[in-house]
Structure 1
């Protein structure tokens, strides 16, 4: 039996949805990280965040992400990152530990169990200050509120917001697009929140076209609490991302048109090009 367009997209989502046990090995490093950082720097709290926590992680690509709220006076973001890096390098001398704003990345098991640790300082009135990848300063974020926002929006359209976020992140990883995963997720939730009718093949195109129309412009925090979400960390990354986005829009448009014409085979062929699958 010929596969339909929606069946293909469902199979793609299933392939790149991490099983519940996918990150268990990476999570085993949490205690050692927290104890070392508490000993060296002082830890107020440490909690899981990012796409894994939000339910938008991409199998084979997403890592375990933690925010670690540190004690003491907030230094420069560079100092904070270097302090966390040095503490973890001392703890894990045989593991690659490096700074990749806004996190310190620990590549356990040669990268098979990667953990990203974001240093943070509690902000007055709520939220946290974390390193800003674009400016090199600090940015304010409310990760727990962002998670709640995405979950609330996702109740509409049969979970459309998270499906759209996972698919666009799959595009990011498979096509090596230098754009923030967090930005794609929050933009996807914002896009879904404004849609009254939902059709995944049409909305994949609609979302990519929206990103193209706004040229990956920064996004005001939809919760109204934190700093703006930036899509890229440099102008060269912006140019690369926009070029790849132009290609994605063209392929998504063709896929949508073939889908509406009832031509499943050609629609699926365009999606295979779009997602490098």
Structure 2
């Protein structure tokens, strides 16, 4: 039986969907991280966030992400990151521990069990202050509300938001696009929630074209609670991202046209180029 464009895309989504146990090894480090940070810095709360929590992680690429709300007065973001890094370096001397804003990255098992720890401070009125990767200052974030927003958007079109987000992240990772995963996910949720009809081969193109039309502009927090979402961390990464986005839009456009002409073989060929398969 000839493979259709939609069946190919669904198989790609399935391929890059982590199993229910995929992150279990990385999760085993949670108690040690919590204990060390609580001992040295004081922890109010520690919880999972990011693609793992949202159900949009990508097999072989996504990490376990934690937000750690710390006690005491809020220092500069650089100081907070360095404090967390140094505490975890002391706890795990044989593990690579480094700062990669907005997180401290712990590469357990030589990177096979990577955990990212985002230092945070409670914000008055709700939410958390976390390091802003672009400005170097603090930014206000409401990760629990963002998770609810993605889940609500995903109820439309039989889980379209998370499917689109996973494909967007697969493109990012396979094509080494220096754009924020969180940004891609929130844009995907917003796009899916605004669509009346849904056809994945067409909507991939429309989603990427929209990103290109707005030139990866910062996005207002759709919950109306936190800071804006930035797509990139510097002008140089923007140039690289836009260049790769141009190529992606061109390939997605060709794939869409072939799909609409019912030439599934050529449509799949273009999607394979798009997603680096």
Fold shared per TM-score above 0.5:
yes
1:97 Cα deviation from its structure 2 partner: 0.1
TM-score calculated relative to the size of structure 2: 1.00
**CA deviation after TM superposition for structure 1 residue 193, in Å:** 1.2
Q: Which residue of 2 aligns with 1:169?
A: 169
Partner SS state of residue 151, structure 2: helix
Q: How far, CA to CA, are the matches of 2:258 and 2:60 in structure 1?
A: 30
2:92 pairs with 1:109? no
Q: Deviations over 1:184-239 (max 9, x none)?
A: 00001111111101000000000000000000000000000000000000000000
Give CA-to-partner distance per residue, 1:112-164, whole Å, 9 cap, x none. 00000000000000000000000000000000000000000100011000000
In the aligned structure 2, how far is the partner of 1:246 from the partner of 1:195?
Answer: 23
2:222 match = 222
The unaligned stretches of length 5 or more in structure 1 are none
Question: Matched residues in 1 for 2:253 and 2:66: separation?
Answer: 37
Within the alignment, does 1:265 sit opposite 2:265 as a pair? Answer: yes
Aligned to 1:51: 51
Aligned residue in 2 for 1:125: 125
Please name the residue that 1:244 is paired with: 244
Shift of 1:15: 0.2
Q: TM-score, with normalisation over the residues of structure 1?
A: 1.00
Output the CA distance in 1 between the equivalents of 2:14 and 2:164: 13
Answering whether residue 154 of structure 2 is matched by residue 185 of structure 1, we say: no
Runs of 4+ in 1 over 4 A off after TM superposition: none
Match of 1:137 in 2: 137
Q: Which residue of 1 aligns with 2:27?
A: 27
Query: Following the alignment from structure 1 to structure 2, what is the Cα–Cα distance between the partners of residues 131 and 153?
Result: 26
CA distance in 2, matches of 1:52, 1:70: 22
CA distance in 1, matches of 2:33, 2:271: 40
CA distance in 2, matches of 1:197, 1:274: 23
Find the aligned partners of 2:88 and 2:54 in 1 and give their Cα distance.
26
Aligned to 1:235: 235
Aligned-partner SS, 1:31: helix
| CA RMSD after TM alignment | 0.3
Q: Which residue of 1 aligns with 2:14?
A: 14
SS of corresponding position for 2:121:
strand
User: 2:79 is matched with which residue?
Assistant: 79
Counterpart CA distance in 2 for 1:76 and 1:67 is 17
CA–CA distance in structure 2, aligned partners of residues 234 and 264 of structure 1: 38
SS at match of 1:21: coil
Q: Distance in 2 between matches of 1:275 and 1:187?
A: 18
Alpha-carbon distance in structure 2 between the residues aligned to 1:215 and 1:171: 17
* C-alpha distance after superposition, 1:15-68 (max 9, x if no partner): 000010000000000000000000000000000000010000000000000000
1:257 & 1:143 partners in 2: Cα distance?
38
